Structure 1
Amino acid sequence: MRFCPVCANTLLLRQEEVLLFYCQTCPYIHRVSGTLIDRRTLERKEVDDVLGGAKAWENVDSIAEACPKCENPRAYYRQVQTRSADEPMTVFYKCTNYDCQHQWRER
């Protein structure tokens, strides 16, 4: 993808006698004279843990909810507003069994 040096809009390709980049907004035209290859490796951004990570589970209550993985009868739970304010909160669970620690959300 190329951008116009005059107005910064996206340049389009047009085939006439030769291949041309042209701008739809201004009269800029650039003649393509060779092979067009431009590779760039993008750096990946670090993913933020939007649910708070491990610290979010430090001071939570437990409830009688069976773990779907190990069938442990209790689970920690948290409620998080993941949608708009007029939607109900989403409940996240984490198994109290130290060996399991399975996490799931209410369906």
Structure 2
Amino acid sequence: MKFCDECGSMMHSDGETWECRSCGYTEARDRDQEGKMTTTQGQERSEIVDVSDAEDRGLPTTTVVCPNCGNDTAHWYMQQIRSADESETRFLVCTECEHKWREDDH
């Protein structure tokens, strides 16, 4: 992949030249340089795995009592839900019933 020296857009090959479709800049192709470019063509694709529950996402656990079922273990994660100058909120997800609550909900 080659990028335009003038505007930074992706260049497209057109015969013996590279052409920028954004600004019109053209440049002669250098076949030796093109041989050194990295390509994804021919590489194997990785398998996409659906991980829907918290344990498979690798979330850390903590000891806390679930207000829904009384289980004493929950996964937790932090999320910014207010403005940037406020601290993050810790969310908990029960490892048994998957009930979700915020740490300050008590």
User: If the TM-score is normalised by the length of the shorter chain, which range does it land in?
Assistant: 0.3 to 0.5
TM-score (norm 2): 0.44
Higher-helix-fraction structure: 2
